[in-house]
Amino acid sequence: MSSAAVQLSVSLPSKTGSPTSRSFAFDEFVLSPERQLLLNRGIPVRIGGRALDLLTALVERPGELVDKQVLMSRAWPRTFVDAANLKVNMTSLRRVLGENHATPRYIATVVGRGYRFIAPVRVSEFGADAPTDGDAAIAARIGRLIDDIEAIRRELQQIRDGSHNGSRHAFDSVRGMAA
């Protein structure tokens, strides 16, 4: 996993005692693979089944290289397909995520080998009482707030270490956020 990827795991107890549904949040997206659902700011996104399988395989291993053969066997488990199918579906997936190949925000190509999910991912597991779409949007918002808190923590550490110029402004902005 890359040092930029932050992974937060939350397990909520289910009525049966074992998690049955997962959720992966990155930026404004929330992916719920078991529900075959991708949300963008709480709104369902149209995504094909193969693209959803590929995205799931990548977000399960953020920052890691996922080999082309692994991705192909995940999206086409009982079918032989040409590697061009993977490329076409990755292009479609990038389009759904709103990125282009030249400036990737989510998926980096490792030429000749595979792909790597490069955005920070927050992981949650839910039991039989899985959240609704609105709950998934709230979970994504909470994840963004956690990121904001972490940024504030880093800034405060810089102030404490004396390596931050304008520390008075930083304290004022933190006070303003608390109000």
Residue 105 sits in a domain whose CATH number is 1.10.10.10
In-domain check, residue 29: yes
Note whether residue 113 is domain-resident: yes
pTM: 0.61
State residue 116 phi and psi, 5-degree precision.
-135, 135
**Residue 156 maps to a domain:** no
Q: How many domains does the chain have?
A: 1
Residue range 140-162, pLDDT digits in tens: 667 677 777 878 888 888 888 88
Strand intervals (E) in 27-119? 29-32, 37-40, 43-44, 65-67, 107-110, 114-117
Domain containing 17 equals: 9-130
Residue 160 lies in a domain: no
Residue 77 located in a structural domain: yes
Is there a domain that residue 66 lies in?
yes
Q: What is the pLDDT of residue 121?
A: 93
Range scoring the smallest mean pLDDT among 3-7, 24-28, 59-63, 175-179: 3-7
In a domain, 178, yes or no: no
Task: Categorize the per-residue pLDDT at 107 as very low, low, confident or very high, splitting at 50, 70 and 90.
Answer: very high
> Is 119 among the domain residues?
yes
Q: pLDDT > 90: what percent of the chain?
A: 42
List CB contacts of 4: < 8 A, sequence separation 6 or more.
Answer: 63, 118, 120
pLDDT value at position 20? 60
Angle at the Cα of 124 from the Cα atoms of 136 and 72, rounded to 5 degrees: 95
